[in-house]
A and B are shown apart, each in its own frame.
Chain A
Amino acid sequence: MEVSRRSFLQTGILGGVGLSVLGFDLQPLYAQSTAFKISRTTETRSTCPYCSVSCGVIIHTIGDRAKNVTPQVVHVEGDPDHPINRGTLCPKGSSLQQDIVNDRRLLKPQVRRPGSDKWEDISWDQAIDEIATWTKKTRDANFVEKDANGATVNRLESVAFAGGCTDTNEFNFLVVKTMRSLGVTCLENQARV
């Protein structure tokens, strides 16, 4: 057992070589402590991204702050000190960690061409260009300015938008603004549990 001068001065545990202040043998405790695989975690208070309830969450991030280590989220729990949810979370909120760290997460856009049974990777530029082209073409061809009674409706019935359950509150806000400005009425963002 090595007792460094620094630890001797800074703590009250060590009373002499190998003994605590009250005379307990430190050798087995020291052996156990060196065998421990100890991780450093940080707790970050944050807000669940999903809906407008804004439940508080605590995000546990592991990483020893070394330059070559990427911090990783290991656990997300409800914030017990948050006045809105007092630690509770809905099923979407309580599975946040799997949304952040998930090897099935898509990292680039994919397209399934008409008649194809396969998804293919495309670049972001290509995806944006294709969406813009098809949206304009479809909108120009099908935009309904007035209904059968002559009332102004400005709607686009041949385009629909489907969101996913992990879309965030902010993302859904932008979706609604964008789709409504195009005249899209078939709009589903799954903003619920």
Chain B
Amino acid sequence: MRTQTAIEWNRRIERASQLTGSSHTANQVLEFYSRVLEVQAAISQDLLTKGDVIQPDKTLREQIDFDSALAHLPTLVEVSRKYGTAILSDVAEQVSAEGSGTVRQAITDELRGVSSTPTGNAICFFARALLQPAAEYLAQQLPSVPHSGGRCPNCESLPLLAVLRPEGDGAKRSLQCSLCLTEWTYRRVLCPFCGETDRDKLPRYSADECLFIRVEACETCRRYLKSVDLSIDGRAVPLVDEVALAALDVWAAEQGLSKIVPNLLGF
């Protein structure tokens, strides 16, 4: 598990750096994201060294070691101050001055599912950035179980994105959790948010310029998520490529669609 997790974080960092050079439009976003990924990789590494084992009698959310994650808050604050936007930089200054209390509260709210700003603000960004690797570390210890719901089988969070992987002569869909980054398989023609199954109400929007990423929308709940089709581009790293095509989120917003869960960078 140790090697696999480290490889996965390295892949994410490498992909973000690679896309930063090639994407002119999302450069600002990707440049910052690659620095954030480095902090997240360090959190993951620390937890792997510590080696806490998940307890079967508690939920994943109850066991997240956010004290270890919070130890990396100063680095995240520094990264945000140096490479983030003006808003992130201001909030980083504020966090730096006030200590970790605000972020700790945001983490607690996020874990309790009572976050007042589900669409993401700057404090929420700090909380989620720290939580993701800590939650992923625990989730990776859990066995994969058959699951058909629209929420994560490990932590019951909503999905961040969909991944399509080659299966036979088609592509099987998985959803990736917005908190613990677990992937679980999910039926193709079905809305993960409201359960709509009418194909006419589940349009898929794709741009000729980037066919491997689609906007999978639902006209019943007006929600969407983006899917990354690895049967079209096997080099893509879903978590990163989803962020790189933030332009599709801007397009979806113009169509009046809301994302099920915005990604870490707020898109």
* Distance (whole angstroms) from the CB of A38 to the closest CB of chain B: 5
Q: Decide yes or no whether A31 CB sits under 8 A from chain B.
A: yes
Which residue of the partner chain B has the closest CB to A79? B170
* A6 to B252 alpha-carbon distance, docked (Å): 12
Which residue of the partner chain B has the closest CB to A89? B169
CB pair A33–B87 under 8 Å, yes or no, is no
* A169 to B213 alpha-carbon distance, docked (Å): 36
Q: Decide yes or no whether A49 CB sits under 8 A from chain B.
A: no
Which residue of the partner chain A has the closest CB to B27? A28
The interface stretch among A7-15, A99-107, A143-151, A160-168 is: A7-15
CB pair A32–B119 under 8 Å, yes or no, is no
Q: Decide yes or no whether B256 CB sits under 8 A from chain A.
A: yes
Contact of A23 among B88, B167, B173, B253 (CB under 8 A): B88
* Distance (whole angstroms) from the CB of B256 to the closest CB of chain A: 5
CB pair A29–B171 under 8 Å, yes or no, is no
The interface stretch among B43-51, B71-79, B241-249 is: B241-249
CB pair A11–B167 under 8 Å, yes or no, is no
Q: Which chain A residues (72-94) contact chain B, with CB distance < 8 Å?
A: 77-81, 85-89, 93-94
CB pair B209–A12 under 8 Å, yes or no, is no
CB pair A12–B259 under 8 Å, yes or no, is yes
CB pair B28–A24 under 8 Å, yes or no, is yes
- B residues in contact with A37, CB < 8 Å: 207-209
CB pair A21–B207 under 8 Å, yes or no, is no
CB pair B25–A14 under 8 Å, yes or no, is no
- A residues in contact with B256, CB < 8 Å: 6-7, 10
- A residues in contact with B258, CB < 8 Å: 10-12
* Distance (whole angstroms) from the CB of A64 to the closest CB of chain B: 9
* Distance (whole angstroms) from the CB of B120 to the closest CB of chain A: 6
Task: Please indicate which of the listed interface residues B170, B204, B252, B256 has the most CB atoms of chain A within 10 Å of its own CB.
Answer: B170
Say yes or no: A33-B254 contact (C-beta < 8 A), given A21-B119, A80-B172, A88-B168. yes
Q: Decide yes or no whether A19 CB sits under 8 A from chain B.
A: yes
Over the window 71-113 of chain B, the binary record of Cβ atoms lying under 8 Å from chain A Cβ atoms (1 yes, 0 no) is 0000000000000111110000000000000000000000000
- B residues in contact with A6, CB < 8 Å: 256
Over the window 193-225 of chain B, the binary record of Cβ atoms lying under 8 Å from chain A Cβ atoms (1 yes, 0 no) is 000000110111111110000100000001000
CB pair B253–A14 under 8 Å, yes or no, is yes
Q: Decide yes or no whether A25 CB sits under 8 A from chain B.
A: yes
Contact of B188 among A21, A23, A28, A81 (CB under 8 A): A81
Q: Decide yes or no whether A137 CB sits under 8 A from chain B.
A: no
* A11 to B167 alpha-carbon distance, docked (Å): 34
Say yes or no: A85-B168 contact (C-beta < 8 A), given A10-B258, A13-B253, A38-B207. yes
Task: Please indicate which of the listed interface residues B85, B167, B247, B253 has the most CB atoms of chain A within 10 Å of its own CB.
Answer: B253
Q: Decide yes or no whether A40 CB sits under 8 A from chain B.
A: yes
* Distance (whole angstroms) from the CB of B188 to the closest CB of chain A: 6
CB pair B86–A23 under 8 Å, yes or no, is yes
| 5 closest residue pairs by CB, A with B | A12-B119, A87-B168, A23-B85, A23-B87, A88-B168
Interface residues of chain A, those whose CB is within 8 Å of chain B, are 4, 6-7, 10-15, 19-26, 28-33, 35-45, 58, 77-81, 85-89, 93-94
Given A32-B25, A44-B199, 10 additional A-B pairs, CB 8 A: A13-B249, A21-B262, A22-B88, A24-B266, A33-B251, A36-B248, A36-B251, A38-B205, A39-B206, A85-B168
